[in-house]
Amino acid sequence: MSGLIVENVDKFYGNVQALSDISLTVDNGQFVCLLGPSGCGKTSLLRIVAGLEDPSAGRIVLDGSDITTTPAHKRDFGMVFQSLALFPHLTVGDNIAYPLAIRGVPKDKRRAEVERLLELVHLPGKADRAITQLSGGQRQRVAIARALIMQPKLFLLDEPMSALDAKLRETMQVEVKRLQRSLGVTSLLVTHDQREAMTTADLVVVMSEGKIQQVAPPIEIYRNPANAFVADFIGITNLIAGRIEGGRFEGPGGALALPGAKSGIATLSIRPEDIALAPQAGPDTLTGTVTFVRHLGATTEISVDTGNADEKDLTVSLPGRTHCPFEVGDTAHLSVDPASVVVLG
Amino acid sequence: MIQSRPRTPLGYLPILLPAFALIAFYIVPFGSMVGMSFFHNLGGGAYEQVFTLENYARLVSPFFLSVLGTSFEVAFLVALFAIVIGFPFTYLLVNARRGTQVFWLIVMLSVLSLSEAIIGFAWSTLLSRTAGIGVLFEALGLTEKAQSYAPSLGAVLAGVTYIAMPYAVLLLYPILSRIEPDIEQASRTLGASPLRAFFNVIVPMHRTPIVVSFVMIFVFTLGSYLLPQILGRPTNWTLSVVISDQALLQSNMPFAAALSIFLMTVTILLVLLVTLINRKGAKA
Ligand SMILES: Nc1ncnc2c1ncn2[C@@H]1O[C@H](COP(=O)(O)OP(=O)(O)O)[C@@H](O)[C@H]1O
Ligand SMILES: [Mg+2]
């Protein structure tokens, strides 16, 4: 058995349960993202894997051996903290070489390794700088280099990009992914940013309230969300509650043909880009009143009130150059390709 | 900050009081002490207002230089003990539960509120032959016969360290409580045991506050004159003891003033030196 296995892990802080019955397998070389809203227990899980926190129940297994009680400093993992946690009194080079210094690697060898890592993170020749002389993005790279210099068995990242501005963040996400792929290091990244998860992960683990909601590749998470939480958390979706009978869905605003769908009460998840405008009302259209039109350039978003529950207007997203025939107050007829509809139980 | 100057002379009023206080309570007494150190002592508390260097000349003797040496030795060792014990203690304290932190901070403040005389006699009882740890050691079979540990240099160091400890903790507490817990944890994930993380990262990271606290405790300890008298032999007496002796018992104010200025000058030079070395070291 190779890779990381998290087995039935629970975590309590006093009476607060942060994790309940988490089980997860990460294959060697895989990049797995823990994705979920703030407070769902992502950091707790990562810290348990790192050995900085004990699980209240369950086991952590790495390459077939139980490491649940192995202290953090004997796990040989590399971790990048949310605060980066660079050592302020050391230079860039000494920060990166710290894991080598701890293990008694001689100075000249350390120096060579540091240069190699600095190349890798695109900071060549910066070894003698003070940490305070670096920009946010550069510090990020130093933290990554420091975590990778020991060729760790596991590369752990806790929202490392959250302090960067949006543009830099996207660049770093791509870079981290490239780096991980070229090194083949098994990685576990925590984030609440679904774009970050989609960019970096081979496998996304969606979490909410201490439980795993779905484990799947990014596109699968988007196209086939396991439940309403995942559908709503990943991207934008329209959740429509209604009833399916004989392959037809009836709900607020009209009906849709859903051949082969199981009969009973159901909630549909339909992505805004999967909704099209219909020229007129038909047997398989939803009808409502346009309440808002947003010309966003790349797309045009139309909000349509079909009498959906909780006054949630449907969102329709059209490619930006499509002519939008509506103004607020007009009646719109909408059609949906049944293949793009996800039926949630 | 407001940078504009007051528009009327009345606007300067708020700084008059502090300026007056500064002059009345610091500059005037200090100036009169400087002046006093150049006067001729007549004995019995009287002195003659003539300019003489005899007080300073008397100072440069093997006796006073050895007393000065003792003063610096005591202050240095006490500052060292206070930091060596106080720094790890404070580090544990800031990582402890809230209740524990409050408890120990209250203990530290209570020690500060004790009078030096009470502390001195408490320690001399504790270290005595008949009622102190000597009896305990004998009962435990550690020593053959109970013996007295005071007066001695060790007793002076113990007593003064006891007083200096709360200062060390209260100086370091606000600084150490600002450490991100991530720093220590990062060094652990990178392969350092908690102990190595402490010595490799936490201590060097706080080099400057450690040096600053050391200097402050050193200076503070130089002024201690009661405990060396209660807990030490005359050979353990510090310059402050001699100063108070000259001023209060011998009534030789000019010489006491010269001693004070001498002590102050040497102290300032020492502090400057340490600050300079620290600044150089921090840059390297
Ligand atoms: N050291 C702690 N003590 C008490 N509660 C904690 C501690 N760490 C986390 N929690 C609680 O556990 C839950 C999960 O926290 P965390 O793992 O940090 O979530 P996330 O990283 O997804 O935001 C939160 O409700 C948080 O308040
Ligand atoms: Mg977190």
Q: What is the mean pLDDT of residues A156-161?
A: 92
Q: What pLDDT, in 10s, does the model give residues A192-218?
A: 999 999 999 999 999 999 999 999 999
Count CB neighbours of A108 within 10 A.
Answer: 8
Residues with Cβ within 8 Å of residue A187, at least 6 apart in sequence:
A30, A31, A32, A154, A155, A156, A157, A180
Give the phi and the psi of residue A90 in degrees, each rounded to 5: -110, 155
Q: A215 has which bridge partners?
A: A205
Residue nearest to atom 14 of ligand 1 (CA): A41
Task: Give the strand pairing for A264-270 and A299-305.
Answer: unpaired
What residue type is assigned to position A22 of the chain? I
> Number of folded domains in chain B?
1
Q: What is the residue range of B191's domain? A: 61-283
B205 by Cβ neighbours in 10 Å (0-12 / 13-18 / 19+) ranks as middle
A52, A67, A105, A113, best to mutate vs chain B, most B CBs in 10 Å = A52
pLDDT at A28: 93
Residue nearest to atom 4 of ligand 1 (CA): A13
Q: Which whole-number Å values give the CA distances from A34 to A73, A174, A193, A208, in the listed order?
A: 23, 17, 10, 10
Rounded (5°) CA angle B103-B104-B109: 100
Grade residue A300 by pLDDT with cuts at 50, 70 and 90.
very high
Residue B137 lies in a domain: yes
Residue B22 lies in a domain: no
Residues with Cβ within 8 Å of residue A114, at least 6 apart in sequence:
A93, A96, A97, A127, A145, A149
pLDDT at B194: 92
pLDDT at B2: 56
Q: What is the mean pLDDT of residues A110-139?
A: 92
Residue B51 lies in a domain: no
Give the phi and the psi of residue B38 in degrees, each rounded to 5: -105, 5
Residue A255's SS3 state is strand
- A193 C-alpha to center of ligand 1: Å? 18
- A50 C-alpha to center of ligand 2: Å? 14
Q: A241 has which bridge partners?
A: A267
Q: Is the pLDDT of residue A323 over 90?
A: no
pLDDT at B276: 86
- B182 C-alpha to center of ligand 1: Å? 15
Q: Which CATH class is domain A237-344?
A: mainly beta
Query: Which of A115-124, B87-96, B185-194, B266-275 comes out lowest in average pLDDT?
Result: B266-275
Residue B116's SS3 state is helix
Considering chain A, what percentage of its residues have pLDDT values greater than 70? 100
- A45 C-alpha to center of ligand 1: Å? 10
Residues with Cβ within 8 Å of residue B189, at least 6 apart in sequence:
A50, A51, A52, A72, A73, A75, A77, A78, A79, A147, A156
pLDDT at B129: 79
pLDDT at B143: 77
- Cβ distance B241 to B234 under 8 Å? no
Q: What is the mean pLDDT of residues A256-281?
A: 90
In chain A, domain spans: 4-228, 237-344
Q: Is the pLDDT of residue B283 over 70?
A: no
pLDDT at B249: 87
Q: Using a 6 Å CB cutoff, which residues line ligand 1?
A: A 13, 16, 18, 36, 38-44
* Strand ranges for chain A from DSSP E: 4-13, 16-26, 31-35, 57-62, 65-66, 77-80, 154-158, 187-191, 203-208, 211-216, 238-245, 248-251, 254-257, 264-270, 275-277, 286-295, 299-305, 314-319, 331-336, 342-344
DSSP classification of residue B26? I
Count CB neighbours of A104 within 10 A.
Answer: 6
Average pLDDT of chain A, as a whole number:
92
Q: What sign does the CA torsion over B211, B213, B214, B218 have?
A: positive
Name the more confident of A241 and A310: A241
Q: What pLDDT, in 10s, does the model give residues B221-257?
A: 988 888 998 998 888 888 888 888 888 888 888 999 9
Which residues of A fall within a CB distance of 8 Å from B180? 83, 85
Task: Tell me which residue in B185, B191, B204 faces A89 most closely, judged by beta carbons.
Answer: B204
Q: What pLDDT, in 10s, does the model give residues B7-37?
A: 777 777 778 888 888 888 888 888 888 888 8
Distance (Å) from the C-alpha of residue B25 to the closest C-alpha of chain A?
A: 41
Q: Do domains A4-228 and A237-344 have the same CATH topology?
A: no
Q: What is the mean pLDDT of residues A219-226?
A: 93
Residue B240 CB-half CA count within 13 A: 17
Give the phi and the psi of residue A130 in degrees, each rounded to 5: -85, 155
Token pair 């296995």 in the structure block, residue: A5
Helix A107-120 to helix A136-148 angle (10° resolution) is: 130
Residue nearest to atom 27 of ligand 1 (CA): A39
B112 close contact with A: CB closer than 8 A? no
Which residues of B fall within a CB distance of 8 Å from A82? 182
Task: Tell me which residue in A82, A89, A146 faces B190 most closely, judged by beta carbons.
Answer: A146
Distance (Å) from the C-alpha of residue B249 to the closest C-alpha of chain A?
A: 51
Distance (Å) from the C-alpha of residue A10 to the closest C-alpha of chain B?
A: 22
pLDDT at A1: 54
Q: What pLDDT, in 10s, does the model give residues A170-196?
A: 999 999 999 999 999 999 999 999 999
pLDDT at B159: 93
Q: What pLDDT, in 10s, does the model give residues A2-59?
A: 799 999 999 999 999 999 999 999 999 999 999 999 999 999 999 999 999 999 999 9
Residue nearest to atom 25 of ligand 1 (CA): A39
In angstroms, the CA A150 to CA A164 distance is: 26
B178 close contact with A: CB closer than 8 A? no
Residue nearest to atom 8 of ligand 1 (CA): A44
Report the CATH number of the A4-228 domain: 3.40.50.300
pLDDT at A143: 95
Q: What pLDDT, in 10s, does the model give residues B92-116?
A: 999 999 999 999 999 999 998 888 8
Residues with Cβ within 8 Å of residue B192, at least 6 apart in sequence:
A73, A98, A102, B200, B201
Residue B68 lies in a domain: yes
Residue nearest to atom 24 of ligand 1 (CA): A39
The H-or-E segment that residue B47 falls in is strand B46-48
Among A11, A44, A208, residue to substitute to test ligand 1 (most atoms within 8 Å of Cβ): A44
Residue B238 lies in a domain: yes
Average pLDDT of chain B, as a whole number:
88
- A45 C-alpha to center of ligand 2: Å? 9
- Cβ distance A85 to A142 under 8 Å? no
Task: Please report, for the domain that includes residue B116, its CATH number.
Answer: 1.10.3720.10
Q: Which whole-number Å values give the CA distances from A341 to A232, A271, A284, A335, B37, in the listed order?
A: 14, 8, 13, 11, 97
Plot region of A209 (φ>0 → left; ψ -120 to 50 → alpha; else → beta):
left
Residues within 8 A of B (CB atoms), A 36-95 only: 50-52, 71-73, 75-79, 81-85, 87-89
pLDDT at B149: 82
The H-or-E segment that residue B111 falls in is helix B98-113
Token pair 């606000």 in the structure block, residue: B174
- Cβ distance A79 to A158 under 8 Å? yes
User: B187–A88: do the CB atoms touch at under 8 Å?
Assistant: no
Residues with CB under 5 A from ligand 2 (ion): A 43
